[in-house]
C-alpha cells in the first residue's frame, strides 16, 4: 500500500499519483473547477491561468489521448509544454542515462512533470526524485491512472448529479486495466455503489485489491456472461484487453474480445438512460455502429471532460489559492 500525501483540501504543489489521495470534498472542489474550465475552453479569449508555467510531458509508453489532452489543457490555460514521447528511444536515455538523471534534468526545466511509464510505481519514484515540483501520474503500468478516473467520475457525475447509489458495469480487462483500478477507488469513496465486473476468469480484479475496496463498503459483483448484466445500470465502462501486459500473442488472443458491444447487445441489456464509456483506445470491443447512439459518450463528452478535468487539476496544483 503506497503512502502518499492526501490532498485534504489543498492541491497546491502536491504530487497526483493515486486516487487514494482524494476524499469526497477534494473531488467536489475539482468538479466545481471543471465547470469554470469548460467555460474557459469554450471562450475564444485566451486564458493566462498558467502563463509563465512550463509542464513537461514525459511519456515512456505510447499515448495519444492522454498526452494530447494534457498538452491541450496546459495550452488552453496559456502555459507551455515540453512533450517527450518515448524518451527511451529519442532522448539521452538511449545513451544510457538513468531514470533518476532524466527526471532531475526535467525537474530543473519545469514547474511540473506529467509522467507515463510501463512499470507500476514509477510515477511515485519520479515524484520522490523531483522533490521540488509536483509530479502527475499519467499511467504507471498496471497501477493507476488517476486523471483518467477523475474525468470518468466527472462524466458519471455530470450525467447523474450524484456519485452515490450508482449501479455500474465495468467490462474487459479488470486485472490489468489501470483506469479501472483508479475508477474503482474513486467510486468506493461514495456510499451505496454497486459495480458489476464483467471479465473472463483470468482477467478478474486482483484479490487483495478487491478485499481492500470491499472494506470501504462498495459492492462488487463479478460476472462472466453478458446475460448477467442488470438492466438498471447508470453506466457501462468498457475497456480493451491490455495486450502489452501479456507474455505472448497467443495468451492475449485467448481472452481478447470476449465481450463486444454492438447495437444488439446495448439494446438488449442496456436501459435508455445509461451512458456508455470507454477510456480509449478501443480495439474492437465496441462496434462503430454504436458510436451514433446517444448513450455513447466515449468519443464526445468523455474526451472533452478529459481536457477540462486536466485543466482544473493543473490550476489547482500549480497555483496557490
Among 53, 145, 181, 185, binds ligand NCD (CB under 6 A): 145
* Catalytic status, residue 264: no
Cβ 116 to ligand NCD shortest distance, Å: 7
Distance separating alpha carbons of residues 27 and 283, to the nearest angstrom: 31
Residue 21 binding ligand NCD, by CB under 6 A: no
* Catalytic status, residue 181: no
Q: Where are the beta strands (DSSP E) in the chain?
A: 54-59, 80-85, 112-117, 135-140, 167-171, 194-198, 219-223, 235-238, 275-277
Residue 168 binding ligand NCD, by CB under 6 A: no
Q: Is 255 exposed, middle or buried (0-12, 13-18, 19+ CB in 10 A)?
A: middle
- Write the CB contacts of 58 (distance below 8 Å, at least 6 apart in sequence): 84, 87, 102, 103, 106, 113, 114, 115, 116, 126
Q: Is 202 exposed, middle or buried (0-12, 13-18, 19+ CB in 10 A)?
A: exposed
Residue 148 binding ligand NCD, by CB under 6 A: yes
Residues 61-120, interacting with ligand NCD (CB under 6 A): 65-66
Cβ 51 to ligand NCD shortest distance, Å: 27
Distance separating alpha carbons of residues 307 and 38, to the nearest angstrom: 9
Site string for ligand NCD, 176-215 (x = CB under 6 A): --xx------------------------------------
Distance separating alpha carbons of residues 170 and 220, to the nearest angstrom: 10
- For residue 231, the SS3 value is coil
Cell numbers linked to 12: 497546491
Residue 245 binding ligand NCD, by CB under 6 A: no
Residues 31-50, interacting with ligand NCD (CB under 6 A): none
Among 13-21, 71-79, 125-133, 236-244, the segment contacting ligand NCD (CB under 6 A): 236-244
Among 13-21, 83-91, 235-243, 247-255, the segment contacting ligand NCD (CB under 6 A): 235-243
* Catalytic status, residue 95: yes
Cβ 61 to ligand NCD shortest distance, Å: 7
Q: Which residues are the active-site residues?
A: 65-66, 95, 116, 145
Amino acid at each position: 500500500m503506497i503512502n502518499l500525501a492526501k490532498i485534504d483540501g489543498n492541491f497546491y504543489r502536491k504530487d497526483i499519483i493515486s486516487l487514494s489521495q482524494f476524499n469526497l470534498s477534494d473531488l467536489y472542489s475539482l468538479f466545481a473547477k471543471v465547470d469554470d474550465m469548460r467555460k474557459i475552453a469554450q471562450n475564444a479569449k485566451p486564458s493566462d491561468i498558467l502563463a509563465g508555467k512550463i509542464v513537461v510531458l514525459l511519456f515512456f509508453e505510447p499515448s495519444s489521448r492522454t498526452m494530447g489532452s494534457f498538452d491541450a489543457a496546459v495550452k488552453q490555460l496559456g502555459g507551455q509544454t515540453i512533450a517527450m514521447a518515448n524518451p527511451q528511444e529519442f532522448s539521452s536515455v538511449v545513451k544510457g542515462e538513468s531514470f533518476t538523471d532524466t527526471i532531475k534534468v526535467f525537474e530543473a526545466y519545469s514547474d511540473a512533470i506529467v509522467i507515463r511509464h510501463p512499470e507500476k510505481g514509477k510515477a511515485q519514484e519520479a515524484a520522490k526524485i523531483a522533490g521540488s515540483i509536483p509530479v502527475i501520474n499519467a499511467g504507471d503500468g498496471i497501477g493507476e491512472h488517476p486523471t483518467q478516473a477523475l474525468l470518468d467520475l466527472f462524466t458519471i457525475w455530470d450525467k447523474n448529479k450524484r456519485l452515490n447509489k450508482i449501479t455500474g458495469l465495468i467490462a474487459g480487462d479488470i486485472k490489468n486495466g489501470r483506469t479501472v483500478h483508479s475508477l474503482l477507488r474513486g467510486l468506493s469513496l461514495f456510499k451505496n455503489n454497486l459495480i458489476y465486473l464483467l471479465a473472463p476468469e483470468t482477467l478478474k480484479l486482483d484479490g487483495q485489491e478487491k478485499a481492500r475496496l470491499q472494506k470501504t463498503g462498495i459492492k462488487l459483483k463479478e460476472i462472466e456472461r453478458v446475460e448477467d448484466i442488470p438492466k438498471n445500470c447508470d453506466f457501462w465502462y468498457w475497456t480493451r484487453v491490455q495486450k502489452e501486459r501479456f507474455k505472448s500473442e497467443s495468451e492475449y488472443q485467448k481472452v481478447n474480445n470476449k465481450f463486444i458491444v454492438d447495437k444488439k447487445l446495448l439494446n438488449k441489456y442496456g436501459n435508455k438512460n445509461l451512458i456508455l464509456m470507454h477510456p480509449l483506445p478501443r480495439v474492437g470491443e465496441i462496434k462503430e455502429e454504436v458510436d451514433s447512439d446517444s448513450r455513447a459518450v466515449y468519443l464526445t463528452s468523455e474526451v472533452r471532460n478529459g481536457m477540462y478535468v486536466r485543466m482544473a487539476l493543473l490550476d489547482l496544483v500549480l497555483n496557490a489559492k
